[in-house]
Structure 1
Protein backbone atom coordinates (compact mmCIF):
# COMPACT_ATOMS: atom_id res chain seq x y z
CA UNK A 1 0.00 0.00 0.00
CA UNK A 2 1.13 3.58 -0.57
CA UNK A 3 0.10 6.89 0.92
CA UNK A 4 -1.53 9.75 -0.98
CA UNK A 5 -0.32 13.04 0.52
CA UNK A 6 -3.06 15.33 -0.78
CA UNK A 7 -4.47 16.92 -3.89
CA UNK A 8 -1.79 18.10 -6.31
CA UNK A 9 -4.06 20.09 -8.62
CA UNK A 10 -7.60 20.26 -9.98
CA UNK A 11 -8.16 20.84 -13.70
CA UNK A 12 -11.32 22.68 -14.71
CA UNK A 13 -12.45 22.81 -18.34
CA UNK A 14 -13.50 26.34 -19.32
CA UNK A 15 -14.83 27.88 -22.53
CA UNK A 16 -12.98 31.22 -22.27
CA UNK A 17 -9.61 31.21 -20.52
CA UNK A 18 -9.26 34.97 -20.02
CA UNK A 19 -12.81 35.37 -18.69
CA UNK A 20 -12.30 32.48 -16.26
CA UNK A 21 -8.88 33.70 -15.09
CA UNK A 22 -10.36 37.12 -14.34
CA UNK A 23 -13.21 35.49 -12.38
CA UNK A 24 -10.91 33.26 -10.31
CA UNK A 25 -8.51 36.11 -9.60
CA UNK A 26 -11.26 38.58 -8.64
CA UNK A 27 -13.43 36.18 -6.63
CA UNK A 28 -10.96 33.70 -5.15
CA UNK A 29 -7.85 35.85 -5.04
CA UNK A 30 -6.05 33.39 -7.33
CA UNK A 31 -2.47 34.06 -8.38
CA UNK A 32 -1.10 32.93 -11.74
CA UNK A 33 1.62 30.27 -11.36
CA UNK A 34 2.02 29.25 -15.03
CA UNK A 35 0.50 30.37 -18.30
CA UNK A 36 0.47 28.07 -21.34
CA UNK A 37 -1.26 28.32 -24.71
CA UNK A 38 -4.56 26.76 -23.59
CA UNK A 39 -4.10 26.45 -19.84
CA UNK A 40 -3.28 28.55 -16.82
CA UNK A 41 -2.27 27.25 -13.41
CA UNK A 42 -3.52 29.27 -10.47
CA UNK A 43 -2.72 29.13 -6.77
CA UNK A 44 -5.77 29.57 -4.56
CA UNK A 45 -4.82 29.35 -0.89
CA UNK A 46 -2.21 26.68 -1.60
CA UNK A 47 -4.47 24.69 -3.97
CA UNK A 48 -3.44 24.56 -7.61
CA UNK A 49 -6.24 25.01 -10.11
CA UNK A 50 -5.55 24.42 -13.78
CA UNK A 51 -7.97 26.16 -16.11
CA UNK A 52 -7.98 24.32 -19.43
CA UNK A 53 -9.65 26.11 -22.34
CA UNK A 54 -11.86 23.93 -24.53
CA UNK A 55 -13.11 25.79 -27.59
CA UNK A 56 -16.78 25.18 -28.41
CA UNK A 57 -17.25 23.48 -25.03
CA UNK A 58 -20.77 22.56 -24.01
CA UNK A 59 -21.98 22.82 -20.41
CA UNK A 60 -22.46 19.54 -18.56
CA UNK A 61 -25.96 18.42 -17.69
CA UNK A 62 -26.52 18.65 -13.91
CA UNK A 63 -27.69 15.00 -13.96
CA UNK A 64 -24.46 13.83 -15.61
CA UNK A 65 -21.85 11.89 -13.67
CA UNK A 66 -18.80 13.94 -12.74
CA UNK A 67 -17.66 16.45 -10.15
CA UNK A 68 -20.60 18.11 -8.40
CA UNK A 69 -18.72 21.04 -6.84
CA UNK A 70 -15.57 21.98 -5.04
CA UNK A 71 -15.36 23.89 -1.77
CA UNK A 72 -12.82 26.29 -0.33
CA UNK A 73 -12.35 26.88 3.38
CA UNK A 74 -13.02 30.47 4.44
CA UNK A 75 -12.62 31.61 8.05
CA UNK A 76 -15.73 32.65 9.99
CA UNK A 77 -14.16 36.10 10.22
CA UNK A 78 -13.79 36.43 6.44
CA UNK A 79 -17.05 34.73 5.45
CA UNK A 80 -19.17 37.94 5.53
CA UNK A 81 -16.55 39.64 3.32
CA UNK A 82 -16.75 36.74 0.84
CA UNK A 83 -20.55 37.00 0.71
CA UNK A 84 -20.33 40.76 0.18
CA UNK A 85 -17.77 40.31 -2.63
CA UNK A 86 -20.05 37.85 -4.45
CA UNK A 87 -22.95 40.29 -4.19
CA UNK A 88 -20.85 43.28 -5.27
CA UNK A 89 -19.62 41.33 -8.32
CA UNK A 90 -23.24 40.36 -9.18
CA UNK A 91 -22.38 36.67 -9.02
CA UNK A 92 -25.46 34.48 -8.85
CA UNK A 93 -25.62 32.72 -5.49
CA UNK A 94 -27.09 29.25 -5.91
CA UNK A 95 -27.43 28.43 -2.19
CA UNK A 96 -26.99 30.37 1.00
CA UNK A 97 -25.54 31.97 2.84
CA UNK A 98 -26.78 29.47 5.41
CA UNK A 99 -25.53 27.61 8.47
CA UNK A 100 -25.12 23.98 7.42
CA UNK A 101 -22.96 21.03 8.34
CA UNK A 102 -21.24 22.71 11.28
CA UNK A 103 -20.35 25.93 9.50
CA UNK A 104 -21.54 28.72 7.26
CA UNK A 105 -21.79 28.01 3.55
CA UNK A 106 -22.52 29.79 0.30
CA UNK A 107 -22.51 28.31 -3.22
CA UNK A 108 -22.14 30.02 -6.59
CA UNK A 109 -21.05 29.23 -10.15
CA UNK A 110 -18.04 30.24 -12.20
CA UNK A 111 -18.65 31.66 -15.72
CA UNK A 112 -19.07 28.13 -17.13
CA UNK A 113 -21.45 26.91 -14.45
CA UNK A 114 -18.91 24.99 -12.32
CA UNK A 115 -20.24 25.13 -8.78
CA UNK A 116 -17.98 26.53 -6.05
CA UNK A 117 -18.66 26.61 -2.31
CA UNK A 118 -17.17 28.67 0.50
CA UNK A 119 -17.42 26.81 3.82
CA UNK A 120 -16.30 27.87 7.30
CA UNK A 121 -16.44 24.51 9.06
CA UNK A 122 -14.05 21.58 9.29
CA UNK A 123 -14.51 17.99 8.15
CA UNK A 124 -14.88 16.93 11.79
CA UNK A 125 -17.65 19.49 12.39
CA UNK A 126 -19.41 18.44 9.19
CA UNK A 127 -19.32 14.74 10.12
CA UNK A 128 -20.88 15.48 13.53
CA UNK A 129 -23.87 16.91 11.67
CA UNK A 130 -24.19 14.12 9.03
CA UNK A 131 -25.60 10.94 10.46
Structure 2
Protein backbone atom coordinates (compact mmCIF):
# COMPACT_ATOMS: atom_id res chain seq x y z
CA UNK A 1 0.00 0.00 0.00
CA UNK A 2 1.23 3.51 -0.82
CA UNK A 3 1.61 5.43 2.40
CA UNK A 4 2.70 9.01 1.79
CA UNK A 5 0.65 11.91 0.35
CA UNK A 6 2.71 12.12 -2.85
CA UNK A 7 1.60 8.57 -3.57
CA UNK A 8 -1.91 9.82 -4.30
CA UNK A 9 -0.53 11.30 -7.50
CA UNK A 10 1.31 8.12 -8.44
CA UNK A 11 0.48 6.62 -11.81
CA UNK A 12 1.85 4.04 -14.14
CA UNK A 13 4.30 5.44 -16.65
CA UNK A 14 2.53 6.02 -19.99
CA UNK A 15 3.10 2.99 -22.20
CA UNK A 16 3.31 0.56 -19.28
CA UNK A 17 -0.04 -0.99 -20.24
CA UNK A 18 0.71 -2.24 -23.73
CA UNK A 19 -2.61 -3.57 -25.05
CA UNK A 20 -5.85 -5.20 -24.05
CA UNK A 21 -4.93 -8.78 -23.15
CA UNK A 22 -8.46 -10.20 -23.15
CA UNK A 23 -12.09 -9.33 -22.62
CA UNK A 24 -14.23 -11.71 -20.56
CA UNK A 25 -17.99 -11.85 -21.07
CA UNK A 26 -20.55 -13.92 -19.15
CA UNK A 27 -22.99 -15.77 -21.42
CA UNK A 28 -26.18 -17.64 -20.63
CA UNK A 29 -26.17 -20.12 -23.53
CA UNK A 30 -22.65 -21.14 -24.56
CA UNK A 31 -23.66 -22.79 -27.84
CA UNK A 32 -25.71 -19.78 -28.99
CA UNK A 33 -22.89 -17.40 -28.04
CA UNK A 34 -20.22 -19.56 -29.70
CA UNK A 35 -22.30 -19.53 -32.88
CA UNK A 36 -22.73 -15.75 -32.68
CA UNK A 37 -19.07 -14.85 -32.08
CA UNK A 38 -17.63 -17.59 -34.30
CA UNK A 39 -20.05 -18.08 -37.18
CA UNK A 40 -21.77 -14.71 -37.44
CA UNK A 41 -18.98 -12.31 -36.39
CA UNK A 42 -16.34 -14.61 -37.86
CA UNK A 43 -13.93 -14.63 -34.93
CA UNK A 44 -11.50 -17.55 -34.68
CA UNK A 45 -12.27 -19.93 -31.80
CA UNK A 46 -9.19 -21.19 -30.02
CA UNK A 47 -9.02 -25.00 -29.88
CA UNK A 48 -6.50 -27.65 -28.93
CA UNK A 49 -3.05 -26.24 -28.23
CA UNK A 50 -4.30 -22.69 -28.93
CA UNK A 51 -6.33 -22.65 -25.68
CA UNK A 52 -4.46 -20.87 -22.86
CA UNK A 53 -3.09 -23.49 -20.47
CA UNK A 54 -4.89 -21.86 -17.54
CA UNK A 55 -8.25 -22.43 -19.27
CA UNK A 56 -7.83 -25.93 -20.76
CA UNK A 57 -9.90 -27.67 -18.07
CA UNK A 58 -12.69 -25.05 -18.21
CA UNK A 59 -12.82 -25.25 -22.02
CA UNK A 60 -12.91 -29.07 -21.87
CA UNK A 61 -15.81 -28.87 -19.39
CA UNK A 62 -17.72 -26.49 -21.71
CA UNK A 63 -17.57 -23.64 -19.20
CA UNK A 64 -15.34 -21.33 -21.27
CA UNK A 65 -14.83 -20.63 -24.96
CA UNK A 66 -12.06 -18.42 -26.32
CA UNK A 67 -12.13 -16.37 -29.50
CA UNK A 68 -9.41 -14.16 -30.95
CA UNK A 69 -9.59 -11.10 -33.19
CA UNK A 70 -7.13 -10.66 -36.06
CA UNK A 71 -5.13 -8.20 -33.91
CA UNK A 72 -4.72 -10.82 -31.18
CA UNK A 73 -7.29 -9.64 -28.63
CA UNK A 74 -8.85 -12.63 -26.91
CA UNK A 75 -12.53 -12.68 -26.01
CA UNK A 76 -13.32 -15.23 -23.32
CA UNK A 77 -16.92 -16.40 -22.95
CA UNK A 78 -17.74 -17.72 -19.48
CA UNK A 79 -20.84 -19.90 -19.23
CA UNK A 80 -23.20 -18.60 -16.57
CA UNK A 81 -26.46 -20.54 -17.15
CA UNK A 82 -28.34 -18.56 -14.48
CA UNK A 83 -27.31 -15.21 -15.99
CA UNK A 84 -30.12 -12.76 -16.32
CA UNK A 85 -29.77 -9.00 -16.65
CA UNK A 86 -31.62 -6.86 -14.10
CA UNK A 87 -33.90 -5.70 -16.92
CA UNK A 88 -34.87 -8.04 -19.78
CA UNK A 89 -35.02 -5.04 -22.16
CA UNK A 90 -31.47 -4.91 -23.61
CA UNK A 91 -31.87 -1.24 -24.51
CA UNK A 92 -31.66 -0.49 -20.78
CA UNK A 93 -28.11 -0.61 -19.50
CA UNK A 94 -27.51 -3.50 -17.11
CA UNK A 95 -23.75 -3.29 -16.74
CA UNK A 96 -21.11 -0.60 -16.32
CA UNK A 97 -19.68 -1.56 -19.71
CA UNK A 98 -21.28 0.39 -22.54
CA UNK A 99 -20.38 -1.64 -25.62
CA UNK A 100 -17.70 -3.65 -27.38
CA UNK A 101 -16.60 -2.18 -30.73
CA UNK A 102 -14.99 -4.05 -33.60
CA UNK A 103 -13.22 -2.16 -36.38
CA UNK A 104 -13.79 -3.17 -40.00
CA UNK A 105 -12.40 -2.08 -43.36
CA UNK A 106 -14.74 0.61 -44.78
CA UNK A 107 -15.07 -1.49 -47.97
CA UNK A 108 -16.59 -4.33 -45.91
CA UNK A 109 -18.97 -2.31 -43.73
CA UNK A 110 -22.03 -2.82 -45.96
CA UNK A 111 -21.28 -6.56 -46.13
CA UNK A 112 -21.30 -6.68 -42.32
CA UNK A 113 -24.72 -4.97 -42.33
CA UNK A 114 -26.08 -7.60 -44.71
CA UNK A 115 -24.72 -10.44 -42.55
CA UNK A 116 -26.43 -8.99 -39.46
CA UNK A 117 -29.70 -8.66 -41.37
CA UNK A 118 -29.40 -12.17 -42.83
CA UNK A 119 -29.04 -13.62 -39.32
CA UNK A 120 -31.83 -11.38 -38.00
CA UNK A 121 -29.55 -9.89 -35.35
CA UNK A 122 -31.40 -7.34 -33.22
CA UNK A 123 -30.17 -3.86 -34.20
CA UNK A 124 -30.14 -1.17 -31.52
CA UNK A 125 -29.47 1.74 -33.87
CA UNK A 126 -27.70 2.68 -37.03
CA UNK A 127 -26.04 2.55 -39.28
CA UNK A 128 -24.84 6.00 -38.27
CA UNK A 129 -22.39 8.21 -40.12
CA UNK A 130 -20.18 10.56 -38.13
CA UNK A 131 -17.00 12.49 -38.88
CA UNK A 132 -15.16 9.57 -37.22
CA UNK A 133 -16.72 7.00 -39.58
CA UNK A 134 -19.73 4.70 -39.78
CA UNK A 135 -21.13 2.40 -37.14
CA UNK A 136 -23.92 -0.08 -36.46
CA UNK A 137 -24.97 -1.08 -32.93
CA UNK A 138 -26.58 -4.44 -32.22
CA UNK A 139 -26.98 -7.00 -29.44
CA UNK A 140 -25.24 -10.27 -28.78
CA UNK A 141 -27.41 -13.20 -27.58
CA UNK A 142 -27.18 -11.99 -23.96
CA UNK A 143 -28.19 -8.42 -24.74
CA UNK A 144 -24.67 -6.94 -24.62
CA UNK A 145 -24.28 -4.04 -27.03
CA UNK A 146 -21.80 -4.61 -29.87
CA UNK A 147 -20.65 -2.12 -32.49
CA UNK A 148 -19.07 -2.68 -35.87
CA UNK A 149 -17.42 0.53 -37.00
CA UNK A 150 -15.12 1.81 -39.70
CA UNK A 151 -13.06 4.90 -40.35
CA UNK A 152 -14.35 7.35 -42.95
CA UNK A 153 -13.55 6.44 -46.56
User: TM bucket by the smaller chain?
Assistant: 0.7 to 0.9
Unaligned segments of structure 1, at least 5 residues:
123-131
- Specify which structure has the higher proportion of strand: 1
- Structure number, greater radius of gyration: 2
Mapped to 1, the partners of 2:86 and 2:136 lie a distance apart of 21
Mapped to 2, the partners of 1:31 and 1:91 lie a distance apart of 20
Mapped to 2, the partners of 1:58 and 1:43 lie a distance apart of 25
Q: In the alignment, which of 21, 26, 40 is matched to residue 65 of structure 2?
A: 40
**In structure 2, do the counterparts of structure 1 residues 101 and 60 end up closer, same or farther at CA, with 3 Å as the change threshold?**
farther
Aligned to 1:129: none
- Specify which structure has the higher proportion of helix: 2
Q: In the alignment, which of 110, 122, 131 is matched to residue 80 of structure 1?
A: 110
Cα RMSD after superposing both structures? 1.7
Structure 1 moving runs of 4+ over 2 Å: 60-65
The TM-score, its normalising length taken from structure 2, stands at 0.74
Q: Does the residue aligned with 1:78 lie in a helix, a strand or coil?
A: helix
Unaligned segments of structure 2, at least 5 residues:
1-11
The TM-score, its normalising length taken from structure 1, stands at 0.85
Mapped to 2, the partners of 1:71 and 1:113 lie a distance apart of 14
Mapped to 1, the partners of 2:95 and 2:33 lie a distance apart of 23
Establish whether residue 17 from structure 1 lines up as the match of residue 30 from structure 2. yes
